[in-house]
Each structure stands twice: as structure tokens, then as C-alpha cells.
Amino acid sequence: MKQFLVFSFLLLVLSACGQKTNVLTEAETADGWQLLFDGQSLDGWRNFNAVGLTGWHVVDGAIQADGSGSDASGYIVTDREYENFHFSIDWKLSEGGNSGILYHVVERPEFTVPYITGPEYQLIDVEGYEAQTGEKLADWQSMGVDYAMYLPDHSTVTINPPGEWNRSEIIFDNGHVEYWLNGVKTIEYEAWTDDWFARRDSGKWAHAPEYGLAHRGLICLQDHGYPASFRNVKIKELPRKAGREVELFNGTDLDNWVVYGTEKFYVEDGCIVVESGEDKQYGYLATREYYDDFDATFEFNQLSNGNSGFFFRSIVLPPAMVNGWQVEVAPAGHDSGGIYESYGRGWLTRPAEDKLVDGWNTMRVKVVGDTAQVWLNGELVTDFTDVAFTKKQGRLALQIHDGGGIKVLFRNLRLTTL
């Protein structure tokens, strides 16, 4: 019996030592899983907002951060963007180590670090970090948090110490989010709900207007000044659920909208009123959520100098700049229904004919992939394809042009996600 137990123990040891890493089983392959790291090279990864890769290496079949990173640098990202997914990764930290896994990271020159757009699954050796730095971490900074947003339940989780491997999983399924640690679900929530926005807007991210809004983005690993290792990096993409009907305006208040600038946006007689203020500057009323592929309709009535616009796939740059594409809403003879790229190339296309009428007009805007179509009072006035559309995502917004004297009414704003 003693010999049998010794033999069984040796088999377990040999099995563990011979366990293959950075491979997919036949069942995983059949189920749609993909490897993001082959165990030998860093093909498919690069530094954030860069072409090449520094500070990261392959060591003993693992992606390893060398510990030279900081808050401002040391991030690597996937070449590809991912929208809905089940992501799995093994990781181990050094003593006192601090790292993280980010997702839905948006890469644009305006965003100098990934964490102002992408949520983070925090990885940190709390005891070691506090002992080394003398800094007491807040709950929202601790191991496994959805950083500065949601706290995990670790009551039934065994977390292996520094130098040993752990496994984390992130599931993002059309706004439903789950974090797992060593086989136990630790966090579960719905993104973009009132609760989510309340947490975001009252804490660390209150001054990061685009944090967490992206529906798709890059996967990112963080070097925060401590060596960290990652292996068995794999992902299974999940389908997008389209066809959601959205009432963008409830006819009563500006819930789900955010004002940027000092111009006037208010509700009167069931309409959104867009009106110049005393400063006579640009102003924007933006949706708090992103809408990328959609079919939207709305009505507008230009009471005076109706120089306005309907922005799509646009981002907010503080304090009051909206960068993206605008469907023009303007007085007669000024290209309503054309597309203008704000802070970019300017006019992309102008309608051949003016289809405006006095009083209320109806506009339909359909954006899918690289194509934007605009109908004005039932007639197609713009059908424009631009590869740049596919590279951006963002909010919708109503604009007040600078110069003063503008007043436009909007009503019946609604869309269907595609």
C-alpha cells in the first residue's frame, strides 16, 4: 500500500510537471476559443499607442513584465479589438507586485493611458505592497476589484501567494460583466445602468468622461513597476445582441444626457431646446452611452439661425470639445444632412439638394460599419462610406455652434441598435 501511494504521488508530480501550457484542447478549439499567446513570441501584442514593443519579454513560456513600467507607461495591448467575450488568463506576481488586466481599451492620441477608457481587473499582492510602500490601500484598490468601481467577494476563494500561479476570467456579454478568480465568481454587475453611472461619476472617474463607455476595445496587460508573468491567455468571442429599441429622449427631462459647455439645453413643451447662451460658444448635449451601429430618427424645428448638428461616434474632450462626425442641421441652403468631421478633415460630403421644409423636419441617420446614410423628410440625401468610421466609436450629441443667436427644437429622438 505504501509503495502504491508513493507511486501515485510520483505520477501526480510528473503529470503536473508535464502539463502543457499555452495550448488549446480540442474541445476549446471546437467551442471557439483562441490563443492570444503561443508561449514563444509576443506576436499580436505591442505597446499602447505605439507600433513596437519594449519592457516585456517571453520567459519560460510566459509573458513577463520586467517591472520598468509606471502609471504613465508599461502597457501592452492586443493588435485586435474585442467586443463581447469570455477571457481567461493565468498570472503570478512578484512580492508586493502590482499589475492589472484591462479591456475595452480605446487607442487614440487623446488618451495617453489605457485606464481612462478601459475597466481594470486589479492584480496586487496587498500585504506585500503595503509592507514595501507603507501605503494603506483603499478597498477599491485591492486584489480583484473592478478598479474604483465594484468590490469582489473573496470569502470562498483561495488566492495563491506571490510566485505561484492564479487564474482570472472576465466575461463581458452585452453589458453583463463577471469576474472570476481561481474558479470562483467574485464580481457580477450590469454596465451602463444608473448604478454603474453613479459609481463612475462620483469617484475616481468623475473627470474621465469616456471611462468605461466603449463597447469594444483592446485587451491590455499592465506593468506597474513590478515584475509580473502571464500565460494561458485565451479568449472566446461572444455574439452581439442587436435590435435594442432606445428612446433617447423621454419628453420630460434630460435624463441619460450630459451637457458640455455653458450654452443652454433644456426641456420645454416636450421638446429639447438647444439655445445659445451669453457666452456664444460651442455647446453640446451628449448621450451618456455609446451607440456605434444604429438606425436613429428625430424631428427638428429651427426657430432662429438653426446652426446645429447630430454627432455620432464621437468622444468628449474636456472641458467642452466633441471630436467625431456631425450630420449637419442648419438653415436652408447650408447643407443639412451632409457629414462634417469635427476637428478633422472638415466637410466629407454635402447633399446635392436641399430637402428642408419650414417648421418641423424629420431626419433619419443610419450608421453601420463604414457607412453612414442620412434621410431628410423621407428622401435619401447622403450615402457615404469612409473606412475611418470603423476605427472610431462613441456618443451621440446635439450641437450649438458658436456665434450666438441659435435656437433649435428636437423631439421624438429614438434609435434601434444594429
Q: What percent of the chain has a predicted confidence (pLDDT) above 70?
A: 95
Which CATH number fits the domain 21-237, given the four candidates 1.10.1200.10, 3.40.47.10, 3.40.50.300, 2.60.120.560?
2.60.120.560
Question: Is pLDDT above 80 for 8?
Answer: no
- Statement: residue 116 has pLDDT above 90: yes
Q: Residue 141: pLDDT band by 50, 70, 90 thresholds?
A: very high
- In this structure, whether the domain defined by 245-417 belongs to CATH 3.40.640.10 is answered with no
- The amino acid at residue 348 is L
Q: What number is the average pLDDT over the span 246-266?
A: 97
Q: How far is CA 297 from CA 8, 100, 196, 314, 327, in A?
A: 69, 41, 27, 18, 12
With CA atoms as reference, report the closest residue to 231 among 28, 39, 93. 39
Is the pLDDT reported for residue 284 higher than 50?
A: yes
- Rg of the chain over Cα atoms, rounded to whole angstroms, equals 25
The Cα–Cα gap between 210 and 323 comes to 12
- What pLDDT score does 69 carry? 86
| Residues 299/411, Cβ–Cβ less than 8 Å | yes
pTM: 0.92
Q: Determine contact, residues 178/185, Cβ cutoff 8 Å.
A: yes
How would residue 9 be classed by pLDDT, with cut points 50, 70 and 90?
Answer: very low
pLDDT band at 318 (very low <50, low <70, confident <90, very high): confident
Residue 320's pLDDT band, with cuts at 50, 70 and 90, is: confident
With bands split at pLDDT 50, 70 and 90, how would you rate the model's confidence at 14?
Answer: very low
Give yes or no for residue 18 having a pLDDT over 90. Answer: no
pLDDT at 144 over 70: yes
**Grid coordinates in use for 66?**
520586467
Tens-place pLDDT, residues 206-242: 999 999 999 999 999 999 999 999 999 999 999 999 9
| Residue 12 pLDDT exceeds 90 | no
Give the mean pLDDT of the chain: 94
Alpha-carbon gap, residue 70 to 55, rounded angstroms: 11
Share of the chain above pLDDT 90, in %: 91
pLDDT score, position 11:
34
What are the DSSP calls for 238-293, one per residue? -------EEES--SS--TTEEEESSSEEEEETTEEEEE--TT---EEEEESS---S
Q: Is the pLDDT of residue 142 over 90?
A: yes
Distance of CA 347 to the CA centre of its chain: 27
Q: Check residue 135 and report its DSSP letter.
A: P
**pLDDT of the residue at 1:** 42
- The cell for 346 is 472638415
Polymer length of the chain: 418
Identical fold at 21-237 and 245-417?
yes
Question: What does the alpha-carbon distance between residue 284 and residue 258 come to, in Å, rounded to a whole number?
Answer: 8
Residue 400 pLDDT: 95
pLDDT of 3 reads 41
The stretch 113-137 carries a mean pLDDT of 97
CB atoms within 10 A of CB 4: 8
What are the sequence ranges of the domains in the chain?
Answer: 21-237, 245-417
Look at residue 36 and tell me whether its pLDDT is greater than 80.
Answer: yes
Q: What is the pLDDT of residue 5?
A: 36
Which residue, 317, 287, 318, is CA-closest to 415?
A: 287
Looking at residues 343-348, what average pLDDT do you find?
94
Judged against a pLDDT cut of 90, whether residue 16 lies above it is answered with no
The region of weakest confidence among 65-79, 161-175, 265-279 is: 65-79
At CA 218, angle to CA 290 and CA 189, rounded to 5?
A: 55
Report how far residue 220's alpha carbon sits from residue 93's, in angstroms, rounded to the nearest whole number: 16
Q: Measured on CA atoms in the order 45, 48, 54, 56, is the torsion positive or negative?
A: negative
The more confidently predicted of residues 203 and 17 is 203
Q: Which three cell numbers stand for residue 369?
A: 460599419
Q: Which amino acid is present at 116?
A: I
Residue 2: band (very low, low, confident or very high) from pLDDT cuts 50, 70, 90 = very low
> 72-81 burial by CB neighbour count: b if 16+ within 10 A, else e?
ebbbbbbeeb
Residue 87: beta bridge partners?
A: 170, 235
> pLDDT value at position 371?
98
Segment 37-83, tens digit of pLDDT? 999 999 999 999 999 999 999 999 999 999 998 989 999 999 999 99
